[in-house]
Amino acid sequence: MKLLEHQGKQFLSSWDIPVPRGIVVKTKEKAKEAFHEFNGKAVLKIQVPVGGRGKAGGVKLVNSINDIDEFFAKWQGRDFKSFPVETFLIEEILNIKSEMYISIALNPKAGGLIFIFSREGGVDIEEVAEKTPEKVLKLNLKPTEEYKEYYFRKELRKFGLKGKILTKLSRLAEKLYLNFKKNDLMLVEINPLVIVEKGEIFAADSKIEVDDSGIFRHKQFQEFRELEYITELEKEAQDIGVTYVKLDGDIGIIASGAGLAMETIDLVNAAGYKSANFLETGGGITKELIHRSVHLVTKDKNVRAVIVSLYGGVNPLVEAAKGLVSGKQSLDRDVLIIAKALGNQQEECWKILEEAGIPILKNHRSEDIVEVLKQRLEVAS
Amino acid sequence: MSILLTNDTRAIIQGITGRIGSIQAMWMKKYGTNIVAGVTPGNGGTEVERIPVYDDVFETVEKHQANASVIFVPAPFAKDAVLEAIDAGIKLIVCVPEHIPVNDTLIMRSKAQEKGVILIGPNTPGIISPGIGKLGIMPANMFNKGRIGLLSRSGTLSYEVAGYINAAGYGQSTMIGIGGDPIRGADISVYLQQFDEDPDTDIVVLVGEIGGSVEEDAANYAKNMKKPVIAFIAGKNAPEGKKMGHAGAIIDGKQGTVESKVKALKEAGVIVADRIAEIPELINKLYENQNISEIASAKE
């Protein structure tokens, strides 16, 4: 789960990391109201869980009510990289002396964490690292070791920092490190980390990603989960226990594995159709799960056909078949549903589907299920 | 013949009395896997599928010389189960559960490396050496015995690819689901090296997907392999910033896309299939063009 900037800043603040004064708003009216608290100038930012908003004009210095009108005209009700823009953050303007970069992230390559610091912030750190690697400090942190403040102080000192700013940064680094581990994070990034005229540091932006698999042991994130930036259909999917990602086509996809679902989408699209969604059941199939998945996928009224692709390893194919039949029979509109199933209990599964008149493909070839789709849709038209 | 899971494997099942563990014990045993014991703390002295159950892993090593374990313990407790197996001297661990916190995986991974243990997964269908046995949840009837080494990030896609390979008259020496999470136990290079050195594997097929850098790591290792590698990457139509089922399957900016992976693989001399259905043809070509062992010796 990626926290929005303002949610992340709430956590940074609770770890005693200074953040600019800001107000979260949902409407233009509230933004105008809030603007009066910032002495005639402020920063207005869209809140989306994905990067690149600065370049797209999603972060703007506003000097007047007119500027706010313009910003909302541009963003309200729009999508940014397929995420609807619903929340805005209006913040005080900092008296910036310099901008730096600091983060801790997972490091899959080394099987640990990585600490990254640069005196150049507010820019794409990957680019800086590529063009001028000497400007970026990278430290691999081993999962079985404990790193203390002095470790970061020593490394930052060797990197050329000294005095007050050195200790401010080493303490900040230790805080980020300890909270990363304590809260099961996958990323904490402050870019830019702003140094103001008086030498104080502020987190001017915040990117925090929480490990979904670790949320069960962190109450503080469970409430964010409720507020998570997801659509009604995605919420329902969470409730059913499946993963659902909406795409913009008209062929629904249900598959018993992530790779299989992605592959089916690729094949459907390559055949000239467009997939309406990605729905992956994972290994916990029950009759009810499939029944509800059929309803979920077809709630999107564009969907005119659904491909269901299943393998019975840990999943019980008989339960899946029963759920598919009851799901189809209880739909309030006619949607073509075709299935492909192989694995443990396959014969029983096929029999149930055949008796219910659901076309069933009995081999491993996903290309063939797309072929079946094609034939059926041609017959239908 | 096979890698990692061989005729010398003496496996235990941790979490054997659970809902999934007991069903999967039945399927693994039915397939002929040498399962010597099961472990569920508190259930020592009982039996599941006529497999003796013990309270801890150490006892199975003492009494049955167990050397491999497959984990069916719920995700919140999986780390401790894996650490117990490592501590007891188990050398091959297959960690099936999904949704294990990444911080736990980091610890399991580094302990395994420290002790020279091969940790497959987490979030994996497991490993199958057709004709010898399987440690995991894959349906056995999807795999045939043969000389293709198969590696896959996705369980279901490994079944699909195996289906195509079987239909063309080939089979698998071993199939390993390397795991769908962002952090894995063993690195991809470990498996590639094993296949490269296995006298009964001719070609390696790698089934990748969007997100992470495991395909890039594989490309890097494949440069120096004697045997040919064929790769396929799923997820051409995945949108940026969305987790596609697997925790590790997410495109982040320009990173982790199909294009970037295909580029890295091609540059390393890996043969990239645009569609899964092409894989059998590519295998045919490799066998037709040259004797595979000739290819291997020419590279040496």
pLDDT range class, residue B10, cuts 50, 70, 90: very high
Judgement on whether residues B212 and B293 belong to the same structural domain of the protein: yes
Pick the CATH number of A232-380 from 3.60.40.10, 3.40.50.261, 3.40.50.1000, 3.30.830.10: 3.40.50.261
| Domain of B16, in residue numbers | 1-122
Helix (H) or strand (E) run with residue A35 in it: helix A28-35
CB contact burial A335-349 (16+ within 10 A = b; e otherwise): ebbbbbbbbbbbeeb
What are the tens digits of pLDDT across the range B84-138?
999 999 999 999 999 999 999 999 999 999 999 999 999 999 999 999 999 999 9
Output the CATH code of domain A21-91. 3.30.1490.20
pLDDT higher than threshold 70 for residue B291: no
> Measured between CB atoms, does B277 come within 8 Å of chain A?
yes
Round the average pLDDT of chain B to a whole number and report it. 93
Rounded-to-10 torsion of CA B105, B111, B115, B116 = 30
Per the CB < 8 A criterion, the answer to whether A195 and A169 are in contact is no
Q: Do A263 and B234 touch (CB under 8 A)?
A: yes
Q: Which of B67, B97, B122 is the last residue of a domain?
A: B122
Separation between Cα atoms, residue A63 and residue A161, nearest integer Å: 36
- DSSP 8-state class, residue B131: T
Q: What is the mean pLDDT of residues B162-174?
A: 97
pLDDT at B246: 77
Respond yes or no: is residue B99 known to be catalytic: no
pLDDT at B241: 75
> Measured between CB atoms, does B110 come within 8 Å of chain A?
yes
Separation between Cα atoms, residue A229 and residue A47, nearest integer Å: 10
Task: Give B280's contacts in chain A (Cβ within 8 Å).
Answer: none
DSSP string, B42-59: T-TT-EETTEEEESSHHH
Judgement on whether residues B142 and B110 belong to the same structural domain of the protein: no
Separation between Cα atoms, residue A39 and residue B276, nearest integer Å: 61
Percent of chain B predicted with pLDDT > 90: 87
Q: Where are the domains of chain A?
A: 21-91, 96-224, 232-380
Per the CB < 8 A criterion, the answer to whether B270 and B197 are in contact is no
H helices of chain B, in order, are 19-30, 57-64, 75-87, 102-114, 155-167, 188-197, 214-222, 258-267, 279-289, 292-299
Q: Is there a domain that residue B177 lies in?
A: yes
Identify the sign of the CA torsion B105, B110, B112, B118.
positive
pLDDT at B297: 46
Locate the chain A residue with the closest alpha carbon to B161. A364
Judgement on whether residues B14 and B152 belong to the same structural domain of the protein: no
Q: Which of B96, B122, B148 is the last residue of a domain?
A: B122
Domain count, chain B: 2
Q: Is there a domain that residue B15 lies in?
A: yes
Domain A96-224 has CATH 3.40.225.10: no
Sheet with B271-272, strands from edge to edge, namely B133-136, B126-129, B172-177, B145-152, B203-209, B229-234, B271-272
CATH number, domain with residue B105: 3.40.50.720
> Measured between CB atoms, does B238 come within 8 Å of chain A?
yes
CATH number, domain with residue B195: 3.40.50.261
The ipTM of this complex is 0.87
Q: Is there a domain that residue B131 lies in?
A: no
Helix, strand, or coil here: A344? coil
Q: What is the mean pLDDT of residues B33-59?
A: 97
Judgement on whether residues B169 and B78 belong to the same structural domain of the protein: no
Separation between Cα atoms, residue A372 and residue B219, nearest integer Å: 36
Judgement on whether residues B102 and B178 belong to the same structural domain of the protein: no
Best A225, A314, A344, A370 member to test B by mutation, with max B CBs in 10 Å, is A314
AA identity, residue B150: L
Separation between Cα atoms, residue A196 and residue A61, nearest integer Å: 18
Strand partners of residue A88: A25, A46
How many Cα atoms within 13 Å fall on the side-chain side of residue A9?
A: 22
Q: Which of B73, B89, B122 is the last residue of a domain?
A: B122
Judgement on whether residues B178 and B295 belong to the same structural domain of the protein: yes
Judgement on whether residues B289 and B171 belong to the same structural domain of the protein: yes
pLDDT at B292: 56
> Burial, B116: exposed, middle or buried (Cβ in 10 Å; 0-12, 13-18, 19+)?
exposed
Same fold, A21-91 and A232-380: no
Per the CB < 8 A criterion, the answer to whether A205 and A5 are in contact is yes
Judgement on whether residues B106 and B162 belong to the same structural domain of the protein: no
**Token pair for residue A134?**
């000497």
Judgement on whether residues B107 and B168 belong to the same structural domain of the protein: no
A123 phi/psi in degrees, rounded to 5 = -130, 175
pLDDT at A1: 86
Judgement on whether residues B25 and B174 belong to the same structural domain of the protein: no
pLDDT at B299: 43
A291 phi/psi in degrees, rounded to 5 = -55, -50
pLDDT at B300: 39
CA distances from A361 to A150, A350, B33, B211 (A): 63, 9, 30, 30
**Which residue out of A5, A91, A101, A229 is catalytically annotated?**
A101
Contacts of residue B185, defined as CB under 8 A and 6 or more positions apart, other chains included, come to: B93, B95, B105, B108, B109, B112, B118, B119, B120, B121, B122, B179
Per the CB < 8 A criterion, the answer to whether B124 and B179 are in contact is yes
**Token pair for residue B241?**
């910033």
CA distances from A174 to A17, A62, B103 (A): 12, 35, 17
* pLDDT per residue as tens, chain A (381 positions): 889 999 999 999 999 999 999 999 999 999 999 999 998 999 999 999 888 898 899 999 999 999 999 999 999 989 888 788 999 999 999 999 999 999 999 988 889 999 999 999 988 888 888 899 999 999 999 999 999 999 999 999 999 999 999 999 999 999 999 999 999 999 999 999 999 988 899 999 999 999 989 999 998 887 776 666 677 888 899 899 999 999 999 999 999 999 999 999 999 999 999 999 999 998 889 999 999 999 999 999 999 999 999 998 889 999 999 999 999 999 999 999 999 999 989 999 999 999 999 999 999 899 999 999 999 999 877
pLDDT at B118: 98
Task: Give B245's contacts in chain A (Cβ within 8 Å).
Answer: 243, 257-259, 261-262, 278, 280, 282
AA identity, residue A256: S
What are the tens digits of pLDDT across the range B189-228?
999 999 999 999 999 999 999 998 899 999 999 999 999 9
> Measured between CB atoms, does B278 come within 8 Å of chain A?
no
